[in-house]
Structure 1
Amino acid sequence: MPVLPTRLTPRTGTVLLSLSLTACAAGPTAPMRIAAGLTSQQLCTGVFTSAQPPAQVLSENVLGLPGMAWTEPLLSYDVDRDTRRVSARFAGGFARQSTWLDGYGCVLLPEGGAPPAFGALPPVAYESPWPALDAAAPVEPAPGPWRDLLDRAFTDTPAPPHHRTKAVLVVHRDRIVAERYAPGHGIDTAMPSWSVAKSISHALTGTAVAAGRVAPDGPTGLPMWGAPGDPRAAITVDMLLRQTSGLALTHRPTAFDPSTRMKYLEADPAAFAEATPLDVAPGTRWRYADGHFTLLSRVLRDRLGGHAEDVVRHARTTLFGPLGMARTTIEFDVTGTPLGAHAFSASARDYARLGLLYLHDGVAGGRRVLPAGWVDRARTATPGTGYGAGFYVNVADGDVPGWGVPWGLPHAPRDTFFARGFMGQYIVIVPSLDLVVVRLGPSQVEGDDVRFMDAVMRDAVAALGK
């Protein structure tokens, strides 16, 4: 059984419950194997995709996760820069490995498994629909309200928990008005998306709709749900995007919940999610869970050709290339399914380019990238929530049930919609102000640091004199 912390706190209690549930579901060694898998994958991405020091990645992106701090004395790792592989162990055993593959980012290997043989990728032409985002250096504003915004955003608390801001980028009327990076980061640094990936997956789904590969209101076509009379066959792609499938998927803020097991223990995460039974009728309940976008990712893989290289080729030619997102990487599992719930990496400017696409109703450089009406789907609230389709919307008051944080950003205009990722990753889009704001960094404040981001938006609105 795992070595457990001796001092109990409310968060620790949640961790212990999750450890117990995980152990019951996947055997008593599951928590140790999850810890090793999570560590190897986060270190691989941090070192080989983001070019950060391993010790810093471990401290900020691993041990900063809920439930992981107590594992520090028991974790060990090795970074092999020649093979671009990371090995992690828990308590001297339970070894897991992740490997970096050119064009695909880091892949977590099955226990004892070999790297997948993903296909070679052709070169792609990256366009530049917003030339102002191609500046050779960060755009540091002159003294005034925009510089004050950056100063406040990069002023951290003297004691834990820390915000750890790595990048802030403000684009107004398609021009950068404020931009700053933490030491070791810059305009080319690709930073983890966490759940901002769900918003990128919404865009990728839109390009598949435009290509005639996916019908948003049609069935998913997932094979496990194809048996006669299976009620899960009624689940649509739109329900996955809105997280209203009715499946008994769960998502808890710990490092050992069933969602984390799906991502860091299962060799085929989508198959794990696909086996989930219904809790309620499809379309009748909203429940946030990574499993929805894991299933969507399997749908996209299958509809785009069935292989990882098909997904990357499509993403580059229909989305990343037309937007100039040259610093964006999709991570995959060993089955070639994109990790569309949580594992993209991109530079702050690439995240801003995605925001500009949605600000301009799916059009970039005069070219329609997303189908007409696709952005409206993203920012139309799912009934009874502050969530649209892959994006949050700023129309609901109160807190997200069970989260204790607001649905939206109270100091931003009501027409705001935004991508929100774990540990404080944001792309905020405000059509009425012609504004996109990006904030990135591994915040260790509970609640995705939404109140901190709301303060950034308050400063941005004030800087525009609104």
Structure 2
Amino acid sequence: MSKKVLTKKVALSLLSLVVSLLLAGVFWLGPAYIIAAPSVATGMGAKLACSSKYVSGLTEQQAKNDLTSYSPILAELAVHFDDQTQTVVTSFYGFSASASFHPGLGCAIDFAGTDARQGVVVPALVSAPGEWPLGSKVNTIDPDLQAVLDQILSADNAAGLESRALLLVQGDRIVAESYAPGIGPQSQLLGWSMGKSVTAIAIGRLLYEDRLRLDETDLFSEWRNDERKHIAVKDLLTMTDGLDFDEIYAPGKDVTRMLFTEPNAASFALQSSALHEPGSHFNYSSGSANILSALVQQRSGASLQGNVSFLDASLYKPLGLTHALFESDAGGTLVGSSYFYASARDWARLGLLMLNKGEINGQRLLTREFVEMASSPNASSNEKAYGFQFWLNAGDASLRWPNVPKDAYAAMGNRSQIVMIMPSDSLVFVRLGWTNGEYPTDANIAKVVAAARKN
């Protein structure tokens, strides 16, 4: 095909795309949006659909429904699942993308000539004998608390809120867990930005093993010759690193480009320029979380194989995780901002580690000081109620969740997903789902806390 014909074909595809966007109700279109939309749509569609089916085990129809809930534009995608190769291909007005599954590392968008996942062996997660949290036996369900979670799940889904798993830990026991049809204790579900908290815990483990310091600077060679060399580990953990990274989820913006069009998310984020003095200004940034993921890899063997081996030996096995998976991108770095999949019971294990100040299953994995700092306000001038990749209830002018304990803090992810730790009540609450819109987090957790206090 000649260059002239190809250019005409692309132009016609873009024109068709603009018409489709207008019909879908998108009336403001900037040039950056129009140019980036096809690659973001196809990349996002291939990646999420691949993971939904081959990691979470959802049906093809559910995978498509979850995808199109983000935008009516995504309903225009043609999505093809190839079970033999465990690959998903999407196409959209002449543009296309694919994503492929790798055992233990999940799905990644394909880029020609780039797949650092090849040859990486991820140790299998095997359940230990005995009771949860080390083992998989759960015989501590409280009927009254179970009824509360069942009622919340039923009401949620009658209202179209797509709750998939609710789980409550009291002390060190699972006292209630409720699942939507097709979901169970072994379902590996995407936590989105709850993965940031997992990345922070991995950093905490490196600190415990003296492979890193909170005040350490000059972290990356890319930053050595400019002001970014002054960014400390603590600044990245609190998202006060001062980097210029745009978290707006629209085509053409930093975060969508990083997650859906780049082979290596961390490498893209590392290119961010300095905007504020480190420690002075909070800016919620998935880029910062992926830089932390690159730091975990740098200090755990400087390779993807070294990284997954470290996490397995130093975190997953001591925690007792049985159904969890951290996805790598094609460039060979775990996507620490967004792509950690786990069962409700495994998400609860991570919450219990924090509730117990860094101890679980008779082992100390994190220092008590790290957990206390992770759940304490940062020192920024604009938004303090954020610790080490955890959202805090207290720290700003008003409580984030007015009706839950003041000392609560949480891993939070897109679609109103949460692992909330409530130290004063010795509770961990997990909610996994796919809510498109507002979810009554405060009211529902308040019901759970009130019932637990009566128990």
TM-score relative to the length of structure 1: 0.87
AA partner of residue 43 (structure 1): A
Specify the alignment match of 1:163 in structure 2. Answer: 161
Secondary structure in structure 1 of the residue aligned to 2:435: coil
CA distance in 1, matches of 2:127, 2:365: 14
Corresponding residue of 2:337? 341
Question: Counterpart of 2:221?
Answer: 223
Distance 1:22 1:310 in 2: 38
Listed one character per residue, the Cα deviations across residues 414-436 of structure 1 (whole Å, up to 9, x for unaligned) are 11111100111110111111100
Which residue does 1:77 correspond to in 2? 79
Q: Select between 332-341 and 272-281 the one with higher mean Cα deviation.
A: 272-281
In structure 1, C-alpha distance between the alignment counterparts of 2:45 and 2:404, rounded to whole Å: 36
1:463 partner SS: helix
For 2:84, give the aligned amino acid. D
Q: Distance in 2 between matches of 1:184 and 1:138?
A: 22
Q: CA deviation at 1:127?
A: 4.8
**1 CA distance for matches of 2:257 and 2:315?**
30
Question: Which residue matches 1:209?
Answer: 207
Partner residue, 1:56? 62
1:7, distance to aligned residue in structure 2 (A): 6.2
Distance 1:37 1:79 in 2: 14
Q: Deviations over 1:346-383 (max 9, x none)?
A: 00000000000000000112211112311112101113
Distance 2:412 2:429 in 1: 12
Q: Distance in 2 between matches of 1:347 and 1:200?
A: 14
Aligned-partner SS, 1:78:
strand
Match of 1:107, SS? Answer: strand
CA 1:307–1:126 in 2, change beyond 3 Å: closer, same or farther?
farther
Q: Secondary structure at the match of 1:427?
A: strand
Query: 1:189 and 1:238, CA in 2 relative to 1: closer, same or farther beyond 3 A?
Result: same
CA contact 2:170–2:428 (8 Å) conserved in 1: yes
Query: For the structure 1 residues 184 and 123, does the alpha-carbon distance in structure 2 shift closer, same or farther, using more than 3 Å as the test?
Result: closer
Q: What's the CA shift for 1:34?
A: 1.1
- Please show how residues 138-287 of structure 1 align to structure 2 within 5 Å: 141-142=142-143, 144=144, 146-156=146-156, 162-219=160-217, 221-227=219-225, 230-254=226-250, 257-287=253-283
Q: Deviations over 1:182-234 (max 9, x none)?
A: 1110000000010000000011111112222222211252121112xx00111
Tell me by how many angstroms 1:129 deviates.
Answer: 8.8
Matched, 1:445 2:437: yes
Consecutive unaligned residues of structure 2, counting only runs of 5 or more, are: 1-13
Q: What pairs up with 1:393-412 in 2 under 5 angstroms?
A: 393-396=392-395, 408-412=400-404
1:69–1:129 distance in 2 versus 1, CA, 3 Å: farther
One of 83, 86, 89 as aligned partner of 1:87: 89
Residue of structure 2 equivalent to 1:388: 387
Q: Is the CA contact 2:128–2:136 (under 8 Å) kept in the aligned structure 1?
A: no
CA contact under 8 A between 1:243 and 1:288: conserved in structure 2? yes
**Alignment match, 1:457:** 445
8 Å Cα contact 1:36/1:96 also seen in 2: yes
Indicate the residue corresponding to 1:300 in structure 2: 296
Residue 121 to residue 135, structure 1, CA distance change in 2 (3 Å): closer
Q: Secondary structure, in 3 states, of the residue corresponding to 1:373?
A: helix
Letter in 1 for 2:199: S
State the alpha-carbon separation in 1 of the partners of residues 140 and 63 from structure 2: 26
Tell me by how many angstroms 1:408 deviates: 2.2
Residue 98 of structure 1 corresponds to 99
- Answering whether residue 9 of structure 2 is matched by residue 6 of structure 1, we say no
Residues 138/348 of structure 1: CA separation in 2 closer, same or farther (3 Å cut): farther
Distance change >3 Å, CA 169–CA 106, structure 1 → 2: same
**TM-score between the two structures when normalised by the length of structure 2:** 0.89
Taking the aligned partners of 1:306 and 1:126, their CA distance within structure 2 comes to 29
The offset of 1:136, in angstroms, is 5.2
Q: Show the counterpart of 1:402.
A: none
Counterpart of 1:47, as a letter, is K
Q: Please tell me whether the aligned partners of residues 149 and 166 of structure 2 are also in contact (alpha carbons under 8 angstroms).
A: no
SS in 2 for 1:95: strand
SS at match of 1:55: helix
| Structure 2 letter corresponding to 1:393 | L
> 1: distance between equivalents of 2:167 and 2:311?
24
- Provide the alpha-carbon RMSD of the alignment: 2.4
Match of 1:403 in 2: none
**Distance in 2 between residues matched to 1:132 and 1:225, nearest whole Å:** 41
Query: Are the counterparts in 2 of residues 219 and 234 from structure 1 also a CA contact under 8 Å?
Result: yes
